Amino acid sequence: MSIFARLLPLLLALVLAAPLVAQTPLQDVLQANRVEVANPSRASVGQVLAALREADAPGTSEFLRQWQDRMVVEDPATGLFHVSLEVEGRQLALIDLDSGAEIGRVSSRDVIPIRPNAGVRREIGAALVRFELSAPDPSRRLAALEAIARSPDADQIPLLESAIPDESDADIRARKLRLLDLLNARFATDTGQRIAAIKGLSGDVSTEARRVLNQILATEPGLAPTLPTDRNIARVLIAGQHLSPHEAYDRLVAAGLAPARPERNTLRDALLAHVADGAVAGLPLHRLSDPAARIEAYGVLQAQGLVPPLVGEADIAATLAGYVFFDTYLEPDPALTDAARAALDQTATRLTLFQWMAISLDALSLASIFFLAAIGLAITFGVMRVINMAHGEFIMMGAYTGYVVQTVIPDYTVSLIVALPLAFVVAFGAGVAMERLVIRHLYTRPLETLLATFGMSIALQQLAKNIFGTQAKPLTAPDWLAGAISLNDVVSISTIRVAIFVLALIFLAALLIMLKRTRLGLEVRAVTQNPGMAASMGINPDRINMLTFGLGSGIAGVAGVAIGLYAQVTSEMGANYIVQSFMTVVVGGVGNVWGTLAGAGLIGFLQKGIEWFNPSNTLAAQTFMVLFIILFIQFRPRGIIALKGRAAGE
């Protein structure tokens, strides 16, 4: 009881004080500005927005969003404003602004819709940003920041400054501070504050920061008899060096400081217009076939004031000698442009570094794809010395296996888990069948093996067309593989390519374990080095050849599933990788896993490097890559990592 007696005065004080701190209902604020809300204009909407800011009633930001989306209506019977939601037919559900509860349903004819125009909606959107910057939902605060970034304005600086101290999320706070630097760099009134903000953007490779710096460094062309001292000159342009004499002269013409240069047919048209009695300016027409005579006739017409002066190259040079051409910054303060130039130079250095990093990631991703596509061929070629031109079709089999599994199992994650081993089994079985039926009868006859596997390649492609059709089939990646990993606006890589890189590492580890730690691997290495000696030791080379060919084909099937996740699944998809696969095997070193890895890395980095120098012509890039590989093989015919021992001499 004593505790209750002590708390009772405090409770009474809080109850009595509650009406004093109660917020004004949103409906009351709108009713106080009823005419401006019902018929908003750009001139009157500011009064309503100011009243809403001052009242800070609950639900204000939600009302602004609904007002902007034209969801607010007026009840003519009561004069109250409500939010309308469409239900069945022409019926509208009216929602109370303060409670959020449905108060009834009416026909659309029973209410007056409020339709703010585009200008009013922009004003509402700007006011909404103020409320959204402090919204409890982090996603709404981020959306408000993105809205500011899309339409930056000087009026948004105080809004951001007031929203930063109370920001509890570290990432959003950093985003607000960075956005404040972007705004201050462009719109701050204090030069020192702008320079500090510009220095804060130094080295920032984001598109937003580079755009702000480039806007500060924007220039316009200028010319004058002498170089002006009262303008912020970006650079002096020399005619014949930075711009052609004709371009410089055209600037003078545009400024009204020189007569226009004659066009290509100006002389001819002027002479034709003054033909009289078979002559022009007293010269017979038959003499005008001579260029000197035409110029003479034009000179007579010019002296008579019948045609404009004919500007020659000597006239252009003499006119240009009297003027200085330059580019001047739109920003008049040299301190700001110097700071922006220094910041942009540092950004350019980091941008180059990140561009090389992006190219390296792309090259690494491409190398992992080549490794997956070629490792099966490397094993087959290394052990059996069989040039299998149908290797790409095993990649195609794996991709189509993944497509069929997805049609049966709609869950993309589960279907991917099922498709990877099933693709291996399908391609393994097809490889064993091909080896038993065709290839084992053609050992020691490489040319006939090449022709036979090439024929099998065409047959398998046609079989796939007969079964699946000629249209590309979708092989959809799960949602967790659908995005991209981004370091910044320059460096990013798709999640699928990261997954393929991881899959390549898994296969590399699995193959090394199989070759080094299992009996099958021991027998494979023995047959690779010396088939005759291996047979004398009790190893069946025929069985090893069959299993090796099946293993290489199965790995190609798994690679097909991985490649199909980002490439089109068609009957010809394997043909796109057969050339790169053979180049990878030959360059890396036949029959060597590490050599295949090195060859895939070399070709991947080489192709991306050439494409960087010539991005508009990928065919030329591939041509240069083939030429480089031909030269490389001339100097190192056994590849990067050549086999040792007797196998190296075969």
Residue 342 lies in a domain: no
Q: What is the mean pLDDT of residues 416-434?
A: 92
Residue 538 lies in a domain: yes
Confidence of residue 53 (pLDDT cuts 50, 70, 90): confident
Q: Is 438 exposed, middle or buried (0-12, 13-18, 19+ CB in 10 A)?
A: middle
Per-residue HEC secondary structure of 455-511 comes to HHHHHHHHHHHHHHCCCCECCCCCHHHCCEEECCCCCEEEHHHHHHHHHHHHHHHHH
Residues 139 and 51 placed together within one structural domain of the fold: no
Q: What is the mean pLDDT of residues 401-424?
A: 91
CA dihedral 303, 305, 311, 312 (to 10 degrees): -20
Q: Is 444 exposed, middle or buried (0-12, 13-18, 19+ CB in 10 A)?
A: exposed
Angle at which helices 334-384 and 541-564 cross, to 10°: 150
* Residue among 437, 345, 354 at smallest CA distance from 390: 437
Give the predicted TM-score (pTM) of the model.
0.65
Residue 339 lies in a domain: no
Residues 247 and 318 placed together within one structural domain of the fold: yes
Q: What is the DSSP string of 558-579?
A: HHHHHHHTTS-B-TTTTHHHHH
Determine contact, residues 370/580, Cβ cutoff 8 Å. Answer: yes
Coil vs helix vs strand at 6? helix
Residues 89 and 153 placed together within one structural domain of the fold: no
Residues 603 and 517 placed together within one structural domain of the fold: yes
Residues 460 and 393 placed together within one structural domain of the fold: yes
Q: What is the mean pLDDT of residues 15-37?
A: 67
Most confident by average pLDDT, 143-152, 181-190, 264-273, 523-532: 181-190
Residues 98 and 202 placed together within one structural domain of the fold: no
Question: Which residues is 73 bridged to in the sheet?
Answer: 82, 113
* DSSP, res 152: -
Residue 163 has pLDDT above 80, yes or no: yes
Q: Which of 216, 248, 266 is the last residue of a domain?
A: 216
pLDDT value of position 418: 93
Residues 96 and 64 placed together within one structural domain of the fold: yes
In what helix (H) or strand (E) does residue 436 lie, and over which residues does it extend? helix 412-437
Q: Which of 200, 216, 232 is the last residue of a domain?
A: 216
Measured CA to CA, the distance from residue 189 to residue 530 in angstroms comes to 82
Residues 271, 274, 280, 281: is their CA dihedral positive or negative? negative
Residue 464 lies in a domain: yes
Residue 65 neighbours by CB distance under 10 Å: 16
Determine contact, residues 297/271, Cβ cutoff 8 Å. Answer: yes
Coil vs helix vs strand at 145? helix
Q: What is the mean pLDDT of residues 234-246?
A: 87
Residues 153 and 8 placed together within one structural domain of the fold: no
Residues 374, 380, 383, 386: is their CA dihedral positive or negative? negative
- Exposure string of 456-488, with b = 16+ CB inside 10 Å and e = fewer, is bbeebbeebeeebeeebbebbbbeebeeeeeee
Residue 23 has pLDDT above 70, yes or no: no
Q: Which of 295, 314, 329 is the last residue of a domain?
A: 329
* Residue among 407, 406, 400 at smallest CA distance from 423: 400
pLDDT in tens, 188-225: 888 899 999 999 888 888 888 888 899 999 999 999 99
Residue 43 neighbours by CB distance under 10 Å: 10
Residue 550 lies in a domain: yes
Residues 449 and 527 placed together within one structural domain of the fold: yes
- CATH number, residue 570: 1.10.3470
Determine contact, residues 347/210, Cβ cutoff 8 Å. Answer: yes
395 or 382, which is more confident: 395
Residues 482 and 570 placed together within one structural domain of the fold: yes
* Residue among 635, 557, 523 at smallest CA distance from 376: 557
Domain count, the chain: 4
Mean pLDDT over each residue of the chain, to the nearest integer? 82
Q: Where are the beta strands (DSSP E) in 142-288?
A: 219-224, 233-237, 279-280, 283-284
Q: What are phi and psi of 604, to 5 degrees?
A: -60, -50
Coil vs helix vs strand at 312? coil
Residue 104 has pLDDT above 60, yes or no: yes
pLDDT value of position 126: 75
Confidence of residue 11 (pLDDT cuts 50, 70, 90): very low
pLDDT value of position 17: 41
Determine contact, residues 563/577, Cβ cutoff 8 Å. Answer: yes
Residues 35 and 154 placed together within one structural domain of the fold: no
Decide the pairing of beta strands 112-113 and 91-95.
unpaired
Residue 335 lies in a domain: no
Residues 526 and 609 placed together within one structural domain of the fold: yes
End-to-end CA distance of the chain: give it in Å, rounded: 104
Residue 242 has pLDDT above 90, yes or no: no
Confidence of residue 340 (pLDDT cuts 50, 70, 90): very high
* DSSP, res 326: E
pLDDT value of position 15: 40
- Exposure string of 387-398, with b = 16+ CB inside 10 Å and e = fewer, is bbbbbbbbbbbb
Q: What are 245's two structure tokens? A: 């004499």
Residue 423 has pLDDT above 90, yes or no: yes
Q: Please name the residues in contact with 569: beta carbons below 8 A apart, sequence gap of 6 or more.
A: 396, 399, 400, 402, 403, 472, 473, 474, 475
pLDDT in tens, 508-567: 888 888 888 888 888 877 877 777 788 888 888 888 888 888 888 898 899 899 888 888
Q: Sort residue 220 into left (φ over 0), alpha (ψ -120 to 50) or beta.
A: beta
Confidence of residue 644 (pLDDT cuts 50, 70, 90): low
509, HSE (Cβ side, Cα atoms, 13 Å): 5
Residue 232 lies in a domain: yes
Lowest mean pLDDT of 241-245, 411-415, 590-594, name the range.
Answer: 590-594
pLDDT value of position 342: 92
Measured CA to CA, the distance from residue 175 to residue 180 in angstroms comes to 8
Coil vs helix vs strand at 290? coil
Q: Please name the residues in contact with 458: beta carbons below 8 A apart, sequence gap of 6 or more.
A: none
pLDDT in tens, 446-505: 788 888 888 999 999 999 999 988 888 888 888 888 777 777 777 888 888 888 888 888
Residue 415 lies in a domain: yes
Q: What are 102's two structure tokens? A: 């449905």
Lowest mean pLDDT of 166-170, 293-297, 366-370, 616-620, name the range.
Answer: 616-620
Confidence of residue 400 (pLDDT cuts 50, 70, 90): very high
328 or 107, which is more confident: 328
The whole domain housing 394 covers: 352-649
Q: What are phi and psi of 74, to 5 degrees?
A: -115, 130
pLDDT value of position 18: 39
